[in-house]
């Protein structure tokens, strides 16, 4: 072993390891646990490479070193976070839910936050004023209004100036009224697409010049329903699937400017996206009024009346702790090598894997049983 350590291979492994470790330690957050983690993964390639020299020879040891070095680089590159510094981030849909929690979270970490809200005088906006620092700026931002998006761009560009905007988080979205695709009026499909897809595209296109200046991040809040088919989410799921595909294409096209794009596919979280009882009444009335008589007869009155009870039960199956989603967005914003897709929450990754790798009949059977359980059958 001493002879190996003093050989050219040993010196090569040691030199690359030291350079690799020092570089990562300089970029790692000032946290003892993280620095210890970096040191372990930095020393692993050299250790394995040297240990394999005896049984495999110098060439085999070098091969093991290179392979382990590559894996360590990929692993640590995904874990090391860039410093917050004076990075500025725009978040849409900050009145409630994930957007509201994310605005508070990023403000606490030291980001310059631009919180876009549907009502700048509403309770959500007022709470952000009272609880967040002076770095946070509220923006009146209905993402379906081209005028308000342009006005927000002017205000943000005036504040960030030549620095550019580090991140845009397209979070604003609506659920609509969960019901079978045949039952939903076309207006519901159009509304979901207008907010969940076209609104996000409008914001992205408008703010891309500022992201290009900073070589920043575009983060799109999609949904588990945007990656897998779920009964009763035809309108919502289709709009989120469109957003996910948009994210993938933008990731490819914007990479030449150093802009990184990520899509977040959360599972069920309690965000209030289902809306208020007044909104349910409006959607239910619209659905019932436009329902053809033969369709009403085919589904039956009991089934139609049960749609609202399903909507009321949604929160009971959702997680109130939003921290997995917040952590995913933070990683997408600051990771040296962010992932293209994040699946925070219970079951999101599992269901996606079942859909991608199992026969479709099995997925359909599994989802039908799961949905029947959530519907109280």
**Catalytic (active-site) positions:** 236
Select, from the ranges 20-29, 194-203, 296-305, 362-371, the one with the highest average predicted confidence (pLDDT): 194-203
Could you tell me which residue, 325 or 31, shows the higher pLDDT? 325
Same domain (yes/no): 237, 314: yes
Same domain (yes/no): 161, 25: no
DSSP state string for 3-66: HHHTSHHHHHHHHHHHHHHHHHHHHS-S-HHHHHHHHHHHHHHHHHHHHTHHHHHHHHHHHHHH
Q: For residue 4, what pLDDT is reported?
A: 47
Same domain (yes/no): 148, 57: no
Q: What is the mean pLDDT of residues 116-124?
A: 96
d(Cα 128, Cα 295) in Å, to the nearest integer? 46
Same domain (yes/no): 170, 45: no
Same domain (yes/no): 162, 234: yes
Task: Assess whether pLDDT exceeds 90 at residue 166.
Answer: yes
Residue 239's domain comprises: 88-374
The last residue of one of the domains, among 79, 103, 138, is 79
CA dihedral 301, 304, 305, 309 (to 10 degrees): 150
Q: Which of 73-77, 243-247, 303-307 has the lowest mean pLDDT?
A: 73-77
Same domain (yes/no): 335, 215: yes
Same domain (yes/no): 51, 101: no
Q: Which of 246, 228, 205, 206 is nearest to 340 (CA)?
A: 246
Q: For residue 30, what pLDDT is reported?
A: 47
If one counts the domains in the chain, the total is 2
Same domain (yes/no): 231, 349: yes
The answer to whether 210 touches 160, Cβ cutoff 8 Å, is yes
pLDDT tens string 83-115: 999 999 999 999 999 999 999 999 999 999 999
Same domain (yes/no): 6, 132: no
Same domain (yes/no): 75, 100: no
The last residue of one of the domains, among 56, 79, 102, is 79
pLDDT tens string 251-306: 999 999 999 999 999 987 766 666 666 666 777 777 777 788 898 889 888 888 77
CATH of the domain at 262: 3.40.50.720
pTM, full prediction:
0.78
The last residue of one of the domains, among 21, 45, 79, is 79
Same domain (yes/no): 67, 106: no
Q: For residue 377, what pLDDT is reported?
A: 47
In terms of DSSP bridges, do strands 167-170 and 137-140 run parallel, antiparallel, or are they unpaired? unpaired
Same domain (yes/no): 72, 113: no
């Amino acid at each position: 072993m001493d002879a190996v350590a003093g050989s050219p291979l040993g010196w090569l492994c040691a030199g690359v390891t030291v350079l690799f470790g020092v570089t990562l330690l300089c970029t790692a957050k000032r946290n003892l646990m993280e620095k210890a983690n970096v040191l372990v993964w930095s020393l692993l390639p050299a250790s394995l490479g040297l240990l394999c020299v005896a049984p495999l020879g110098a060439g085999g040891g070098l091969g093991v070193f290179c392979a382990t070095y590559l894996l360590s680089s990929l692993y640590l590159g995904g874990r090391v976070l860039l410093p917050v510094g004076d990075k500025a981030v725009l978040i849409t849909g900050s009145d409630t839910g994930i957007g509201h929690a994310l605005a508070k979270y990023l403000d606490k970490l030291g980001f310059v936050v631009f919180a876009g809200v549907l009502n700048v005088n509403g309770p959500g906006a007022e709470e952000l004023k009272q609880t967040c620092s002076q770095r946070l700026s509220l923006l009146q931002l209905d993402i379906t209004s081209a005028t308000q998006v342009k006005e927000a761009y002017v205000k943000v560009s005036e504040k960030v100036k030549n620095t550019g905007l580090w991140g845009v988080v397209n979070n604003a979205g609506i659920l609509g009224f969960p019901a079978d695709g045949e039952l939903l009026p076309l207006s519901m499909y159009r509304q979901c697409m207008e907010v969940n897809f076209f609104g996000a595209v409008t914001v992205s296109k408008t703010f891309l010049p500022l992201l290009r200046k900073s070589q920043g991040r575009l983060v799109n809040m999609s949904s588990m329903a945007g990656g897998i088919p779920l009964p009763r989410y035809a309108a919502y799921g289709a709009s989120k699937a469109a957003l996910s595909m948009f994210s993938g294409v933008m990731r490819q096209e914007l990479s030449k400017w150093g802009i990184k794009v990520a899509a977040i596919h959360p599972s069920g979280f309690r965000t209030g996206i289902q809306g208020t009882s007044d909104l349910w009444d409006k959607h239910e009335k619209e659905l019932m009024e436009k329902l053809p008589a033969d369709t009403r007869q085919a589904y039956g009155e009991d089934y139609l009346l049960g749609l609202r009870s399903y909507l009321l039960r949604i929160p009971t199956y959702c997680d109130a702790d939003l921290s997995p989603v917040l952590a995913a967005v933070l990683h997408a914003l600051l990771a040296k090598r962010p992932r293209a897709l994040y699946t925070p929450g219970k079951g999101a990754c599992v269901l996606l894997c079942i859909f991608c790798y199992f026969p479709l009949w099995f997925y359909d059977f599994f989802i039908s049983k799961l949905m029947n359980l959530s519907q109280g059958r």
